[in-house]
Structure formats: C-alpha cells, structure tokens
Structure 1
Amino acid sequence: MLGLGVWQVRDGRECERAVAWALELGYRLIDTAQAYGNESSVGRAIRNSGVPREDIFLTTKFYPGGKDPRVEAEKSLARLGTDYLDLYLIHWPQGGPTWAWAGMEAASEAGLTKGVGISNFGAAELQELLKVSQIQPAVNQILFSPFDYRRALVEAGADAGVVSQAYSPLGTGRHLGDPAVERIASAAGRTPAQVLIRWAIQKGLSVIPKSTHRERIEANFDVFDFELDEQSISALDSLDTTHQTADALAQRQKWWS
C-alpha cells in the first residue's frame, strides 16, 4: 500500500541513503525506472540493507524509447543486481498503448518479473491494451493527488481488475503548503504530507511518495494509525483540477506526444 519512489533522486549516495533509510524504517516497496538512471544505487542499497530480497517488492519501468522490453528488463536486472523484478511497468504509452506489451509478456514468461503493468495510461489506452493482452496488467501507476483526482481512471482500472498506484501524491512538494491541506493537517495533528498520503490510501490506491530526508521518509510511513473523516475527504476532493478525468495526463503534460 505504501512505498518509496525515487524519481528525481540522484544516482549515488543520495539515492542509496534514501532507500536504505526507507528499508530500515519498515518500507518494503521500492519503485524506480530505467529512465531515472538510479537503478544501480537502488540495487546496492537493497543488497546492503540486510533485508531479505524476498521481503522487498521491487518495481522498475521499461523506457518506451527502447525497442525490446525483455532485453531492457535483463539490463535492469543487471544494474539492480537481482534475479527478478516483482513488477515491471511500461513507463508511458509512447508509440501507442499496445506495441510493447508482447515484450512485457515475454519478460514475464521468461521469469524476469513476477508481474507486469503500465504507467500513465488513460482509460481508453487501458481498454485498447486489454483487447490484445494475454497477461492482465496488474497495475496502472498514475499521477494522483487531491489536485489530480483521476476518479474515472481509478474506476476504469477497478472495473478491469487493475490496481491504481499513485505517484507524486505530494505534487513534488507543491501541495504541502495549500491552505486547505494545512488546515486539515492542523486539525488532525498530522503533517500535510501525511494527510495527502492518507487521502490516497483511503481512496484505495497504493502510494509511492518520494523523499530524500530521513525524517520525512519516516513521517510519510506513519499514516496507518489514523483516518481522515468524511468532511476532510470531501474538502480534499474539492481541490481537484482534472474534473475527475479518465485521462492519465493533460495533453500539455504528455511529454511523449
């Protein structure tokens, strides 16, 4: 339900420390990607953590500028220093939502990954993929927060049996100073980050906030001993700017278009 994302975390000491702290504090889901350029650091931190590999859920993502997801999965495994992935995602639907899926299935069938899925796919793209897939995508990782409340996309995933996973739940820090979020956090005796993460969890999503600061990594994980009340949930819902869209990203955000 809750893991550490390492988008925009620098390869080397910064990334290794963040992953090491997360694992020490109880995190067991670590999310990286070929495009992040820090898989080697993630792998070193995991190996040095003392946490058994089988206790860690490790995700990476196929960079769709590449040609063959299976070949690229093998390269990721070499960088990560592990024999398998727990989840392998298409990072975004560049070139269309279906062309890479056969290679994703090949990676699964070869035992390189336990699960395969997608990221940044809208509901229409998900439906196109389901028409041709032999293996069901397990996850759709999407931009999701009270300000990006993609309710229709989450519902489309649920209808298809696909888990929605929230990235950038804190808006890369932009949402932490919002007055409504701050008011709710103050009333609950929690941090704004905890409120935003808890909101996504109560919406039924898996959540992968990013931080490189130990105290924030620890606080972000401390969200399972409280619940937001209906009034707070409603107030957060009202912050949405997407009209609860079924699209993964606004057209201006689609860097692959």
Structure 2
Amino acid sequence: MAAVSSEADGRTRALADGNEIPLVGLGVWQVPDGRECEEAVAWALEAGYRHIDTAQAYGNERSVGKALRDSGLPREDVFITTKFYPARQDPEAEAQRSLERLGVDSLDLYIVHWPQGGPTWAWDGMQRAHERGYARSIGVSNFSASELDAVFAIADVHPVVNQIQFSPFEYRRGLLDACDGRRVAVEAYSPLGTGRHLGDAQVADIAERVGRTPAQVLIRWAVQRDLIVLPKSTHRERIEQNAQVFDFELSEADVATLDGLDRTNGTDRALESLWW
C-alpha cells in the first residue's frame, strides 16, 4: 500500500513561510465526533497520511486528537490543520481552545474558515495566535481574490494558504492565479464534489484507461498542479485508495480533458453563493 509520507519526496510542498505541508490530507468535514471520526483518522494514519484537516465548526477536534494520540505517531510527524469559526470573536482565544480539544501544543496550520463580517477583522487575532506559537502557519479559506488582497493590505504576517472548493469541475483559474501571484498555496476541498464528480463519464473513461479509480484520477489532477488536496471519506478502503496517487501520472491530454470540465468560467471567486 502506497503511503503519503511527510518527507520532501514530491509528496509535500513548501509554504511561503518555509513550513512543509503534505500534498494529500484527510478532511473530516461532516464526520460526527466520536467513533466514526476516530476510526477514519486512525485508518488514514495507518495508510500513511500525515495531514489531517479539521475545524472548530466541525465539532470533531477531540476525536481527531484522540486518534492522533492512539496512533502512537510522534506529534511532529503529523500535520494538523484547524479553522477559526468566524461567528466567534477572538481567533487567539479560540486557537487555545482548539489546542485543548486536540490535545496538542501547537497547530501546524490555523485558517480563517470563511470571511464572515468582512475579510480583515479576524486577521489581527490570527497573527496573535501565530506570534504566541499556537500556530506555525496561518491562512484563510473561502476567500476570493479581492478578499485576499484586502488581507495582504493590512497583514504583518501574510496568509500562506487559501483553502477553497477546487476540482476540474470547479477549476477557479482566476483565483488560482491570484493565489500563485501572492505565494499563497491553494488547498482543494471537496475535490470529489462530495461524490458527485465520481460518476462523470469523462472522468470514468480516464480512470478505466489508466487503471485507477475516478477518485484517484481527480486527486492526481490536483497533485500534478502541486495543489494540496483534501479528500474526505469514512470508508477504510476508499481512504487507502485515495492515498495511492503518487505512483502514476496523468497525460497532458488527460489533464486537458479534465481542465475542460470547469463549470465556474475560471472565476476568481471562492464561492458561487454564500452560506452565512
């Protein structure tokens, strides 16, 4: 079984602040706190994942922390991300609470989950969390190009990540270019479209030709762009399969076919509609 290692072997990338992040991580959005989340994280760590992505809003940080402790892996071997819930007031105080729930001394990455109330108000608290050592890196999520610009205009410490919905079907070229121009790494959430994209005929054709699953094809598309990608699953076999994307390559023709599936017209926006 192929493992997603944290070594600098093409399976990680350097962020603008010099920290290394594994390209493939397990996302735990909509995974209930308790046994289901603990098992998913445990299976991922057994399969070689070294990157787990959670959030205060998910309500499952305690389960992520328990699975990490039970794994026996050294803390420094696993990259942990959580996200500030912007309905709350103080990112620094909420980072402390996340550390308590996770049972760790510091986060590898701390992200503003979405730009509720405007893109800049939370950034001072994010910088304080970084300054106090609660988070090695800080970033944002669901920020458009203009919202990212607003943060850069007031920041002493720049965001190094923008976590956005991204896949061949949500190929936000304008936003990707804006992030690249600011040395902000794109993290792709919902790379499988919460399962919707797996049944697409062109994805299936490519998967059959290369002898892989549709999920592996979609994840590999992101990896070949040096994007961080966060597939979510609670099924052990799929978690393991989703890690096995470093031993094959998509051809230029296959990548071009996948690029053509975009339904966003190459937007620089992070979302088509707001949920808050």
Assess same fold via TM > 0.5. yes
The equivalent position to 1:126 in structure 2, one of 111, 124, 148, is 148
The residue type paired with residue 106 of structure 2 is Y
Aligned to 2:57: 35
How far apart in 2 are the matches of 1:44 and 1:247? 36
Tell me the number of residue pairs that the alignment of Structure 1 and Structure 2 aligns: 254
Aligned to 1:236: 258
How far apart in 1 are the matches of 2:180 and 2:158? 13
Post-superposition Cα deviations, 1:211-256, rounded to whole Å, max 9, x if no partner, equal 0011100100000011110111111111100011110001x2x112
The Cα shift of 1:61 comes to 0.1
How far apart in 2 are the matches of 1:173 and 1:249? 18
CA RMSD of aligned residues (A): 0.6
DSSP-derived class of the 2:255 partner = helix
The equivalent position to 1:159 in structure 2, one of 177, 181, 199, is 181
The residue type paired with residue 255 of structure 1 is W
How far apart in 1 are the matches of 2:215 and 2:250? 13
How far apart in 2 are the matches of 1:160 and 1:59? 21
The residue type paired with residue 224 of structure 1 is F
- Check if 1:136 corresponds to 2:132: no
- Check if 1:89 corresponds to 2:111: yes
DSSP-derived class of the 2:135 partner = coil
How far apart in 2 are the matches of 1:142 and 1:71? 25
Aligned to 1:68: 90
The residue type paired with residue 141 of structure 2 is S
The residue type paired with residue 167 of structure 1 is Y
Post-superposition Cα deviations, 1:79-98, rounded to whole Å, max 9, x if no partner, equal 10111000000000001100
DSSP-derived class of the 1:142 partner = strand
- Check if 1:181 corresponds to 2:203: yes
The residue type paired with residue 81 of structure 1 is G
How far apart in 1 are the matches of 2:268 and 2:151? 15
DSSP-derived class of the 2:266 partner = coil
- Check if 1:105 corresponds to 2:131: no
How far apart in 1 are the matches of 2:108 and 2:190? 21
Aligned to 2:7: none
- Check if 1:211 corresponds to 2:263: no
The residue type paired with residue 113 of structure 1 is A
How far apart in 2 are the matches of 1:100 and 1:109? 14
Aligned to 1:148: 170
The equivalent position to 2:44 in structure 1, one of 22, 37, 53, is 22
The Cα shift of 1:204 comes to 2.0
The residue type paired with residue 113 of structure 2 is H
Post-superposition Cα deviations, 1:187-213, rounded to whole Å, max 9, x if no partner, equal 110000000000111122110100001
How far apart in 2 are the matches of 1:236 and 1:216? 21
**TM-score normalised by L of structure 1:** 0.98
Give unpaired runs (5+ residues) of structure 1.
none
DSSP-derived class of the 1:130 partner = helix
Aligned to 2:270: 248
How far apart in 2 are the matches of 1:139 and 1:73? 17
Post-superposition Cα deviations, 1:115-163, rounded to whole Å, max 9, x if no partner, equal 1000000101000110000001010001001110011111111110110
More helix by share: 1
Identity across aligned pairs (percent)? 64
DSSP-derived class of the 1:115 partner = strand
The residue type paired with residue 128 of structure 1 is A
The residue type paired with residue 197 of structure 1 is I
How far apart in 2 are the matches of 1:8 and 1:188? 31
How far apart in 1 are the matches of 2:186 and 2:226? 8
The Cα shift of 1:10 comes to 1.0
